[in-house]
Amino acid sequence: WVFDFFRGLICIRRRGFHLCACRCDPELSYVWNRLEQEAFDHQADLGYLDVRPCFAWLAYPTRDIAERWISWQHRRRHADGDDGAGDIARQ
């Protein structure tokens, strides 16, 4: 997890990994973390851990899940009345 997070701080853009992107954006790094994506992808499935294959996180990260997560964050912030300051969907 820590490796993925720091790699994201160095080489991440909204659309995915790019060599030496130097974005230093902790929110994007979190969204593109393979373990966090797996958790986000299955957060509504309470039985997932009972049937989760070993090393399921290797199938992540994916652009589709990152975009769904960013969209979800944007909708949640808008619904909460947040002014959008720091909104990663705008980057």
What does the pLDDT look like over 49-69, one tens digit per residue? Answer: 999 999 999 999 888 998 999
Confidence (pTM): 0.67
Task: Output phi, psi for 11, to 5 deg.
Answer: -130, 60
Q: Give the DSSP letter string of 3-37.
A: HHHHHHHHSEETTEE-TT-----HHHHHHT-HHHH
In order of 8, 18, 59, the CA distances from 54 in angstroms are 24, 28, 11
Query: What are the pLDDT digits (tens) for 6-19?
Result: 666 666 666 666 55
